[in-house]
Amino acid sequence: MALNNTYDARLVQQETAVGAGVQILLLALIGTAIGMGPAGWVTGLVFAIATWAVLSRALHRAGSRTFGPANRVTLGRATLVGGVTALVADSFQDSPPVSLFVGLTAVALILDGVDGKVARRTGTSTALGARFDMEVDAFLILVLSVYVSTAMGPWVLLIGAMRYVFVAAARVWPWLTAPLPPSTARKTVAALQGVLLLVAASAYLPHAVNVGVVALALGLLVWSFGRDVLWLFRTHRTTQAAPVTVERRARRELVAS
């Protein structure tokens, strides 16, 4: 059994290494096609290495014996996000081809709805897989907000930074880490962020319309986060008040007896 565990663990690590290799291959294809500069190359390589290192460590700590089909889809999406990240880094020197940028981003966004379905149909849903999926989504939104902010101003960065601010705040107020009830509205708003940012990034619409599109994305995100934070705060207060109420009731019964 120990030999099988070791063998499975090696297979899992090999899959993450293959993912890093595919990422480098994609960078090579992009670099050859558009003549990508040093900033794009360095950023893309750092993304590939960081993804491989963080994912390998997470899989090792979770004791995963198989990588799973859903994680393969997410890893493929992460590879596309790495390509988009390289293009955005390179855009500070030369604007990337719109068709390439939109194509990579669009496929990454479409695959966002695939990995979850694969996990449910194959019965391979895991906390690690859900976290992996979430982090890839969040990073893509951050990268897109950086790209759009170069044309519209730093206020767009609020869209990409909001989740990371929430995570940082949870270190100060642990009650923010409590599980939230399922919400279709939350999922819809999260999915719309990438779509709306991509619409603005493509520059197919007039600038004023793109500003309105991004403002709509930010407004929806503020509403969604605000609603969740308020729900978590109220739940936290209710939970904190419950032991006090029970204790008071016990004291009253003791005095009455």
10-residue mean pLDDT profile of the chain (257 residues): values are 53 82 93 92 94 88 80 92 96 90 95 85 84 93 96 96 95 93 92 96 94 97 96 91 55 55
Q: What pLDDT is attached to residue 216?
A: 97
∠ CA 179-124-163, nearest 5°, is: 35
Cα–Cα distance, 166 to 146 (Å, whole number): 18
* pLDDT at position 1: 40
Tracing tokens 């880490």 back to the chain, one arrives at: 177
Give residue 243's pLDDT: 59
- Does the pTM of the predicted model rise above 0.85? yes
Residue 161 has a CB neighbour count (10 Å cut-off) of 16
How far is Cα 70 from Cα 74, in angstroms, rounded to an integer?
6
The dihedral region occupied by 24, where left means phi > 0, alpha psi between -120 and 50, and beta the remainder, is alpha
The reported pLDDT for the residue numbered 60 is 81
* Cβ–Cβ under 8 Å, residues 139 and 157: no
Task: Give me the residue spans of the domains in the chain.
Answer: 2-256
Cβ contacts of 197-201, under 8 Å, gap ≥ 24 = 197/141, 197/144, 197/145, 197/148, 197/159, 198/102, 198/105, 198/106, 198/109, 198/144, 200/148, 200/152, 201/101, 201/102, 201/105, 201/144, 201/147, 201/148
State the pLDDT at residue 194.
95
Tell me the C-alpha distance between 257 and 143, whole Å: 66
pLDDT at residue number 233: 95
3 state SS of 97 = coil
Instruction: State residue 255's pLDDT score.
Output: 53
Angle made by CA atoms 29, 67, 177, in degrees to the nearest 5: 100
User: What does the pLDDT read at residue 3?
Assistant: 44
